[in-house]
Amino acid sequence: MATFDAQLKESLPHLWRYGFSLTRAHHQTDDLVQDTVERGILKRSLWDALHPLRPWLMKIELNIFRDKYRAKARAQEVAMEDDFDIGADDRTIEARSELRAVMKRMNDLPDEQRQPLLLVSIGGLSYAQASEVLDVPIGTIMSRISRARAFLNKEAAPQVPGIRSAT
């Protein structure tokens, strides 16, 4: 298995994308990732080298976000920046618009469904790793992600007056 430093370096883009999905602001994401890396280095002795580092760091990141940033976000809703960027730079205007719409719909998800979905889809963790980060059984992760995806798909479906959906 790769060293702590190598895994830390490899985890940085994932930490940033996941952090941005939580904060939706570049400067707050930079601060969150910096706090995460700092705490990870300080608590390095608590990491089990037999397991991948990224899930452990993402758990730290989520805990820092919960402690430090969520209270601020409730007090004043953080506006999503127009240049929402979690991946490719060559997005079309339509794709960026659709991504913004999905992220707005994700705000309507309960936290218990949004967190596993973000860890898996944005953070790139496996269901098992997300299960470790959130301290819930893998079956719970799978069902929460399934419900979250069903909600997002239902909300994305065009609503035609007078026609009921199949669900």
Tens digits of residue pLDDT in 49-103 = 999 999 999 999 999 999 886 666 555 444 444 445 555 555 677 777 777 777 7
Which stretches of 43-167 are DSSP H helices? 53-64, 70-75, 93-106, 111-121, 127-134, 138-156
Tokens of 30: 């930079």
Work out the percent of the chain whose per-residue pLDDT is above 90. 57
Q: How far apart are CA 20 and CA 10, in angstroms?
A: 17
| Average pLDDT rounded to a whole number, residues 42-47 | 96
> Which pLDDT band holds residue 2 (cuts at 50, 70, 90)?
confident
Phi-psi region at 63: left, alpha or beta (left = phi > 0; alpha = psi -120 to 50): alpha
What pLDDT does residue 64 have?
A: 95
* Domains along the chain with CATH numbers: 4-156 (1.20.140.160)
Q: Which residue has the higher pLDDT, 100 or 31?
A: 31
> Counting beta carbons within 10 angstroms of the beta carbon of residue 165, is it exposed (0 to 12), middle (13 to 18) or buried (19 or more)?
exposed
What pLDDT does residue 100 have?
A: 77
Among 159, 139, 158, 137, CA closest to 147: 139
The count of C-alpha atoms lying within 13 angstroms of the C-alpha of 81, restricted to the half-sphere facing its C-beta, is 14
What pLDDT does residue 74 have?
A: 56
Is residue 164 predicted with pLDDT exceeding 50?
no
Instruction: Determine contact, residues 141/114, Cβ cutoff 8 Å.
Output: no
Instruction: Determine contact, residues 136/142, Cβ cutoff 8 Å.
Output: no
Among 73, 69, 155, 84, CA closest to 113: 155
Contacts 24+ apart (CB under 8 A), 138-142: 141/116
| Average pLDDT rounded to a whole number, residues 10-32 | 93
Q: Which residue has the higher pLDDT, 167 or 62?
A: 62
